[in-house]
Structure formats: C-alpha cells, structure tokens
Amino acid sequence: MPAILRMESVWFQYPGREVFHDLTFSLEEGEILGLIGPNSSGKTTLLKLMDGLLNPQRGKVFLGGKDLQKLPRRQVAREIAVVPQEMEIPFSFTVGEIVLMGRAPYMGRFGWEKQRDLQIAREGMALTDIAQLENRPFAELSQGEKQRVLIARALAQEPGVMLLDEPTSHLDINHQVEINELVCSLNVEKNLTVMNISHDLNLAAEYSHRIVLLSRGSIYAMGTPSEVITEENIRRVYETTVMVEKNPVSGAPRVTPVGKSRMEKDGRKKTIHLICGAGSGVDSARRLLLRGYRVSLGVLNIGDTDQKFGKALGLTIALEEPFSPISERAYQENQDLIARADLVIVERFLVGQGNLANLKAASEALEKGKRVIVLENDGQYDFTAGEASACYQRLREGGAVFIPDHSLILKEVEKAVGAG
C-alpha cells in the first residue's frame, strides 16, 4: 500500500530533551496502525508531528507526497483529523455545535454553515450513533458519548487520515470495545486510514493491522501484532514480565501481566509444586508468587500454556517434548521437584493416558507423607476409562484436601504450610 503520511529522517527535541533522532516512518493508506510504547516514549509527540502541530528541527513530514510544513493549515485539516483523549469545552455548546466545528476548514473566516455542512455533520453523528444527542449539552454527556462526539467531529472534516490519541483511556471495557469497533467500521466503509495510540496492548493487538512499538524516541519493532507483541519485546521495552498467548477466538496475541519483583523476594521460603496443564496452573501460580512462595511446575509439554507462563518467570519445570506422553525421565524429574516441595497442588485439567502419570505422582507423594491439595475434578475430565477417577479416589481416601475452586487456594496453603 502507498504511504499517505511519511516521516523522513526526522529529528525533534523539546528544550533540554531529545525525543526523535533520525526517525523514518510511514502510515500506509487504508490501514489501522496501533502505536504503543511506555510513557515518555514519544507517542503523542509523533502524532503532533504527523499533524503538523509540531515541526521537526531536521527532516521532513510528507502528506501525500507534499511537504507538510508548506501546506496551509486549512488544507491539512481537510486531510487529517485528530481525536484527543478528552476535550474541555469552556462554553455550553451542544453536541450538534461541537460536531459542526469539524466543518471549519471548509467555511470562510466569517462564513456561515451551508446545508451541505449540516448534512455532513449529521451523517457523522449518524455513523457514530449520537444523532439522538444533537441538542444535548456536550458537558452533560458520559465519557463514552463524548468520545463518539469527538470522532463525529473528526469525520465532519472528511479526512483521509484520523489520528487518535488514546481515545479509550478513560472508558470502561464496554465503551472501549464500542469505540474500537466503530473505528474499524469507518476504516472499511470510508476507507479511512487510522493511527491509534493505545496503552492497552490487547486492544491494540485486536484492532490493528500493523503495530509500531516505540521505545525512547525510536521504533523498537514494527510489523503485524504477532510480530511486535512478543514476550521478549514487552520485557525489554516495558521492563516487565508478561505471558503472550494467542487469543482462542480472534487469534490475536493476548498479553497477561505476571509481575517481576515479588517472586524474587521469596518471603516465606516455602515451595509449592503445581501439577497442572493447558493453563490450569496460571491463576494459582500467580497468586502464590505474589504472596512470596516459590513455585515449581510439572510435568508439562514444551509449548503448553503453563509451560510458557513458567518459562517467562524462570520457574523450575519438569518438561516433556511437545505432544508426547510423560516419559520415565520426565516422571522422575517431577518426583524430584515434588520431593523438594513443601506442598503439592493438583490443578483441574483434562487427564488422558499421556499425562495420567501426573496423578500417579501425586498419589505417591501423598503416600510418602507429602501434603496435597486437589481441585475438585469429575468424570468429564477423565479420558482414561476410569483410571484417572480411581487416582482421584485414592487421593481423597489418602487424606488429600479437596477444594471446589481457586478462591480457597491461599487459605488452604496457609493452613498446610503456615506463614513462614
């Protein structure tokens, strides 16, 4: 796709602070580009440079091949619309009046709006589903409604490009989704090119064709959401530990924060071994780590969700090859981890012949005097013709503590191993 906005070798600095150093970047026609990065990485400054509100000290910004600095502001406003995070209106303007302000680039200095201006403004209100609010004072609206009004005002400019500066940062999840769905529909129906600054990595991944990750005034990574939003990239740029999985519905990368400091404190010096799989251990592991416990995992196949979570945190894991049954070697590794642990937790997971040995390891641990907590499981999880159910029964008869859900995990762990 051709570039509709292009920055070439741009240098920009505020007094005493350099922001961009030889930055080259393009916004391609017809795309939704998500711009992400930590605070002070230059996101809003980049937006202002692309709109011509700031001028680079060196380098150039091109709009449709023309030097942006040489274009009249009225012409730029007909091509580029900006939607801010929020807008304070000092006077009691109605929604209709705010949206009509978007027609300013098409009216004379002292001109009045024409019928076409009113028609375009009302079309923008209809597209953003705020037509019924036309006569309401802007100040009385909810944040979600205000954001729709600002988008309608931007649409009234009839732009080819819309630049959004964290438009959903103050909204609840329902309004966040609504605004992003609206932007996507405008991208398709109006062939609108969009750049959307976002602090929400999951929303950026879901609704962007391409992602640019900024770090300290330079582009750290650029590409599809899956190429940019990786555990390594987020760790290096945001200096925090996350787990990145594939959203099972959309296929977009999904980011789960897992923290980075509390598990280093090891406040209680107690070790909990989780027998888990397919993501069943993530919730318990996170809770235990944040309480200062050490955590080990096993046996897990390489590539399993729990394995990726554990790897991201540097946990000790008994590993098996992908899609392979538990081998004698992996079983022994798991036994060794169990022997070093103060407590074993058996998560609720699907049990087949390939991982039945995990339940057997828990039973053996119980017989040797190890304390064991088990998440209630039923026949729906048993794909072993009853062998798994028999293991659960042995655990129950042997004195393992069975709990119905994760809400009781920490309470039972404290009872079993104490506070330190």
Domain of residue 233: give its range: 3-256
Mean pLDDT within 414-419: 76
- Total domain count, the chain: 2
CATH code: domain of residue 16: 3.40.50.300
CB 142 within 8 A of CB 95: no
Residues 270-324 pLDDT 10s: 899 999 998 899 889 988 887 888 999 999 999 998 999 898 888 999 999 999 9
Residues 182-231 pLDDT 10s: 889 989 988 899 999 999 999 999 999 999 999 988 999 999 999 999 98
The helix/strand/coil state of 379 is helix
User: What one-letter code names the amino acid at 414?
Assistant: E
Percentage of the chain with pLDDT > 70?
Answer: 95
Calpha distance 296→277 (Å, rounded): 13
CB 400 within 8 A of CB 374: yes
The alpha-helical segments, DSSP class H, found in 70-172 are: 73-79, 95-100, 115-127, 143-156
Calpha distance 141→235 (Å, rounded): 39
CB 101 within 8 A of CB 154: no
Q: Clarify whether residues 159 and 282 are in a common domain.
A: no
The alpha-helical segments, DSSP class H, found in 291-386 are: 305-313, 328-340, 356-367
The helix/strand/coil state of 371 is coil
pLDDT attached to residue 179: 85
Q: Which of 222, 256, 290 is the last residue of a domain?
A: 256
Q: Which of 192, 224, 256 is the last residue of a domain?
A: 256
Q: Clarify whether residues 137 and 172 are in a common domain.
A: yes
Sign of the CA dihedral running 137, 138, 142, 148: positive
Q: Which two tokens stand for residue 307?
A: 């394995």
pLDDT attached to residue 172: 81
Name the DSSP letter for residue 141: S
The alpha-helical segments, DSSP class H, found in 157-199 are: 173-189
Q: Nearest to residue 57, comparing CAs of 16, 13, 24, 113?
A: 13
CATH code: domain of residue 282: 3.40.50.450
Name the DSSP letter for residue 412: H
pLDDT attached to residue 267: 43
Q: Clarify whether residues 342 and 222 are in a common domain.
A: no
pLDDT attached to residue 362: 94
Q: Clarify whether residues 267 and 244 are in a common domain.
A: no
173 pLDDT tier (thresholds 50, 70, 90): confident
Q: Clarify whether residues 169 and 286 are in a common domain.
A: no
Residue indicated by tokens 């945190």: 313
What are residue 202's phi and psi, to 5 degrees?
Answer: -70, -40
Percentage of the chain with pLDDT > 90?
Answer: 59
CB 165 within 8 A of CB 47: yes
Higher pLDDT, 25 or 2: 25
**For the chain, first and last CA: distance in Å?**
61
Alpha-carbon torsion angle 193, 195, 200, 202, nearest 10: 40
